[in-house]
Amino acid sequence: MGNYEYIISSLPALTLDWKYSEGSSFGSYVAWVKSQLGESDIKKLDILLQGYDNSNLNREFYEAALKDGNRFLREFCTFDLNVRNAKARFLNKAFGRPADMDTIKIETGEFSEAAALEVILSRTDILEREHGLDSLTWEKIDRITTFNYFDLDAVLGFIARLHIIDRWFSLDEETGRDLFKKLVFDLHDTARNLSYVPPKDE
């Protein structure tokens, strides 16, 4: 259908502190957006959604996403892969493991957010670290969609922002302290989808 102007104009303007109205949820917004999209656009949205499930995050997923015909998917998934690899290296250093263990080795080119991400990962407060990561992701979405007003990239950007909000919607400080355990679990869950081969001794 491609009625992007109607879709975007019908959706709320999101900020990091935006709240759902009564009866609405991430799922209800996704369902409505899908009802307004054509089949080919729904497939693109499904790729984005698949990226939020750690069981999908293997080399094959990222290789396909980084070559996808949609610019938002290519750039957002490239950023996501870089962030995930940086998290893995951060944990590897903390646990004294090989630097590239549990990473997905795909060439992504320059990672312009690397320095900012390093500062965020070095924060000692776990909750502040997670907020920092989400703020960095939000800023990346904004940069990708800067000149996209009424197209599929704008729609995908909305869903990506809404996913960030959804993650924090019912999160209090106590549960936020458990995010470090979840981070470790997620990385190991991702690693189960990979075939890690340690480097050969020279």
Please say if the pLDDT value at position 140 is more than 90: yes
Residue 65 lies in a domain: yes
Name residue, tokens 């007003």. 149
Tell me, what's the pLDDT at 16? Answer: 86
Convert the pLDDT of each residue in 168-192 to its tens digit: 875 654 554 555 556 556 555 655 5
Tell me, what's the pLDDT at 17? Answer: 85
Residue 21 lies in a domain: no
Tally of domains within the chain: 1
Residue 31 lies in a domain: no
What's the 3-state SS for 149-194?
Answer: CCCHHHHHHHHHHHHHHHHHCCCCHHHHCCHHHHHHHHHHHHHCCC
Residue 59 lies in a domain: yes
Tell me, what's the pLDDT at 179? Answer: 55
Residue 69 lies in a domain: yes
Residue 114 lies in a domain: yes
Convert the pLDDT of each residue in 78-104 to its tens digit: 999 999 999 999 999 999 999 999 999
Residue 24 lies in a domain: no
- Indicate the average pLDDT of the chain: 88
Tell me, what's the pLDDT at 126? Answer: 83
For residue 148, give both structure tokens: 């996209």
Structural domain boundaries, residue 137:
45-191
